[in-house]
Amino acid sequence: MSSRATQKQQSRERILEAAGRHLRTGGIDGAGIAAVMSEAGLTHGAFYAHFSNKDELTRNALVHALEQNRARWLGKPQRESWTQRLGRLARRYLTGAHRQSRADSCALAALCSEAARGDSAFRRTYEEELLKSLSGLCEGPFETQPPQRGDDALAYMALLVGTLALSRAVASPALAERLLKAGADAAARIGHADPEQRANR
């Protein structure tokens, strides 16, 4: 690859990094092309050499951010039961540190309510990333999971995302911490409700 091409590739990488941080910290609108480019060490004019418009950047930054999120959250495969896995990953996700670190936190949670207002291309991207995260959680393609496990995984993700979002939306740290704890406990229980009870729902 020519040196110019690698330069451009590196610039693009830095832009996506900066955009990912801004996206999670400031939301979809809170980005600002000039601010992102400046954080990437460039000026606003260079933007259109990399992306055709802001929406395209936003989608790419979302993908980029969630790949990082999944790598850090899911880590390497473990020897554990489904129930253990749900409990362990919930405790790893619902921490005070995750709540407070905005710039590199889970983009699904950081954007959950704003995503609904995005255009359909953005929502398609969001959905794809959610499905990838579900597959990572299940350690296999989400579409091939047995129905009950798929439903568990969906409710589980909704609980994690909702808990983290609420814990940030709230003003008092004490309530935020209690939310995290209550959410993690409930998430750990999603895997093992009494089976006979679940059969005749």
Partner DNA sequence: GCTATCGCATGATGATCATCATGTCAAAGA
Partner DNA sequence: TCTTTGACATGATGATCATCATGCGATAGC
Nearest to a copy of itself of 42, 112 (CB atom): 112
Q: Which of 25, 27, 32, 82 binds DNA (CB under 7 A)?
A: 32
34 is a contact residue toward DNA (CB under 7 A): yes
Return d(Cα 106, Cα 90) in angstroms, integer: 13
Return d(Cα 117, Cα 143) in angstroms, integer: 26
- Min CB(53)–DNA separation in Å: 4
62 is a contact residue toward DNA (CB under 7 A): no
44 is a contact residue toward DNA (CB under 7 A): yes
| Residue 152 binds: one of DNA, a copy of itself, none (C-beta under 5 to 8 A by kind) | a copy of itself
53 is a contact residue toward DNA (CB under 7 A): yes
Nearest to a copy of itself of 50, 181 (CB atom): 181
| Residue 45 binds: one of DNA, a copy of itself, none (C-beta under 5 to 8 A by kind) | DNA
Task: Tell me which residues touch DNA (CB under 7 A).
Answer: 2-5, 7-8, 11, 31-35, 37, 41-50, 53-55
